[in-house]
């Protein structure tokens, strides 16, 4: 593999000129530039990233931090971000967290990110205060997609609007005993989605005269199986629930599975609505409040690119959710 010197020799210029010419810098005679480019092409020259990086201090690489790769939200965000970043000639370093059996994650270790990336994109995870401050110490732009602390650069869906749309939809159908399946919210920061959605649920319920009570709340961890367990708990606790609002479609699939197995008809006995807009939701007939995760990935990438370029950017990019009514919700059943 030829180096910059081979190109310089062939084009009969210095390596400095090759460097300038190849990167489109000014102060290179058009004729010289052309000669350099041609020589590079003929030799199949491509600069060694490590060498450029060492010399410039930049890496043209963005870290993507995420606990899961295959969850719906995360995979769509990653897809959007990766395509946008690569379109701008940035590489994407995929970095997950170790998760144990209960999906508790290990602490983020920022050391391995030092001088390794030009910026960090945090996708779908609530970081601790300590982790946040360590990330900040990296000295590179950080953008949060999904959960992110106030004051940081963030891209997210309007949680209150999303959960409110779900509650209102059920209220409009006459439901008054509605349960909520959400993520864990105890000991979570105020800005984490599980907390905001729980609060949004409570507020919307109060506004619409929907009953509230501890036995109407069940917590899960965003996996389908945990959604199923949550539904089982709910059914065991109260026999008069007519509607369930779920924080994610994937958990809702678990809820629906449990209801199906328990012989509960949807929506005749119980209505189910969730948040996300997973593609198979159409087949299942799942009523949902959709968010555009792919576009959030693209938006996060654009924010990061702008920050790297030293441009000013809005701190928050808020996406609006969209209610999609299908077959898992219906009028409240008439009591016998």
Q: Which residues bind DNA (CB under 7 A)?
A: 3-5, 12-20, 22-23, 26-29, 31-33, 45, 47-48, 51-52, 54-57
The residue whose two tokens read 């729980």 is 198
User: Considering the rule CB under 8 A, would residue 1 count as an interface residue with a copy of itself?
Assistant: yes
Nearest CA to 72 out of 297, 228, 231, 319 is that of: 297
**DSSP secondary-structure letter at 335?**
P
Asked if 284 contacts 328 with a C-beta cutoff of 8 angstroms, the reply is: yes
Q: Rounded distance, CA 209 to CA 281, Å?
A: 29
Judged by CB under 8 A, the residue of 5, 14, 34, 98 near a copy of itself is 98
Q: Which residues contact 130 (CB under 8 A, 6 or more apart)?
A: 107
Q: How many other CB atoms sit within 10 Å of the CB of residue 335?
A: 6
User: Considering the rule CB under 8 A, would residue 185 count as an interface residue with a copy of itself?
Assistant: no
User: Considering the rule CB under 8 A, would residue 309 count as an interface residue with a copy of itself?
Assistant: no
Question: Which residue lies nearer to DNA by CB, 262 or 309?
Answer: 309
Question: Which residue lies nearer to DNA by CB, 57 or 209?
Answer: 57
Residue 35 CB, nearest distance to a copy of itself (Å)?
20
DSSP-based three-state secondary structure for 41? helix
Helical residues (DSSP H) of the chain, grouped into ranges = 4-11, 15-22, 30-43, 49-56, 72-87, 129-136, 159-172, 193-207, 224-237, 249-261, 281-284, 293-308
Which of a copy of itself, DNA, none does residue 12 bind (CB under 5 to 8 Å by kind)?
Answer: DNA
Question: Which residue lies nearer to DNA by CB, 6 or 173?
Answer: 6
Which of DNA, a copy of itself, none does residue 20 bind (CB under 5 to 8 Å by kind)?
Answer: DNA
DSSP-based three-state secondary structure for 86? helix
End-to-end CA distance of the chain: 81
Q: Rounded distance, CA 153 to CA 145, Å?
A: 9
User: Considering the rule CB under 8 A, would residue 105 count as an interface residue with a copy of itself?
Assistant: no
Question: Which residue lies nearer to a copy of itself by CB, 201 or 253?
Answer: 253
Judged by CB under 8 A, the residue of 37, 83, 292, 323 near a copy of itself is 83
Question: Which residue lies nearer to a copy of itself by CB, 50 or 129?
Answer: 50
Judged by CB under 8 A, the residue of 6, 91, 221, 237 near a copy of itself is 91
Q: How many other CB atoms sit within 10 Å of the CB of residue 87?
A: 11
Residue 71 CB, nearest distance to a copy of itself (Å)?
9
Q: How many residues bind a copy of itself (CB under 8 A)?
A: 46
Q: Rounded distance, CA 206 to CA 196, Å?
A: 15
**DSSP secondary-structure letter at 329?**
-
Judged by CB under 8 A, the residue of 179, 253, 296, 304 near a copy of itself is 253
Which of DNA, a copy of itself, none does residue 231 bind (CB under 5 to 8 Å by kind)?
Answer: none
Positions that interact with a copy of itself (CB under 8 A): 1, 44, 46, 48-51, 53-54, 59, 61, 64, 68-70, 72, 75-76, 78-79, 82-83, 86-87, 91-96, 98, 111-112, 114-116, 224, 253, 256-257, 260, 279-280, 282-284
């Amino acid at each position: 593999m030829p180096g910059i010197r081979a190109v310089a020799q062939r084009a009969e210029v210095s390596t400095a000129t090759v460097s300038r010419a190849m990167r489109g810098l000014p102060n290179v005679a058009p004729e010289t530039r052309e000669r350099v480019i041609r020589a590079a092409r003929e030799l199949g020259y491509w600069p060694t990233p490590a060498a450029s990086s060492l010399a410039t201090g930049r890496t043209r690489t963005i870290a993507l931090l995420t606990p899961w790769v295959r969850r719906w939200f995360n995979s769509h965000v990653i897809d959007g971000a990766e395509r946008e970043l690569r379109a701008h000639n940035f590489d994407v370093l995929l970095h997950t967290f170790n998760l144990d059996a209960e999906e508790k994650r290990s602490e983020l270790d920022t050391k391995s990110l030092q001088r390794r990336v030009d910026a960090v994109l945090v996708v779908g995870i609530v970081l601790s205060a300590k982790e946040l401050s360590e990330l900040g110490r990296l000295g590179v732009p950080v953008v949060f997609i999904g959960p992110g602390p106030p004051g940081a650069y963030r891209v997210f869906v309007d949680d209150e609007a999303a959960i409110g749309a779900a509650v209102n939809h059920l209220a409009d159908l006459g439901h008054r005993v509605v349960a909520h399946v959400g993520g864990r919210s105890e000991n979570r920061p105020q800005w984490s989605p599980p907390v905001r959605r729980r609060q949004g649920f409570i507020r919307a319920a109060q506004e619409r005269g929907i009953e509230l009570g501890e036995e109407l709340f069940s917590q899960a961890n965003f996996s389908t199986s945990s959604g199923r367990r949550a539904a089982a708990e709910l059914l065991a606790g109260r026999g008069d629930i007519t509607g369930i609002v779920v924080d994610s479609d994937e958990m809702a699939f678990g809820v629906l599975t449990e209801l199906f197995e328990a012989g509960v008809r949807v929506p005749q006995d119980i209505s189910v609505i969730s948040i996300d807009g997973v593609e198979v939701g159409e087949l299942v007939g799942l009523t949902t409040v959709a968010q555009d995760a792919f576009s959030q990935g693209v938006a996060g990438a654009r924010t990061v690119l702008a920050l790297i370029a030293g441009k000013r950017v809005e701190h928050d990019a808020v996406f609006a959710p969209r209610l999609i009514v299908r077959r898992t919700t219906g009028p409240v059943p008439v009591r016998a």
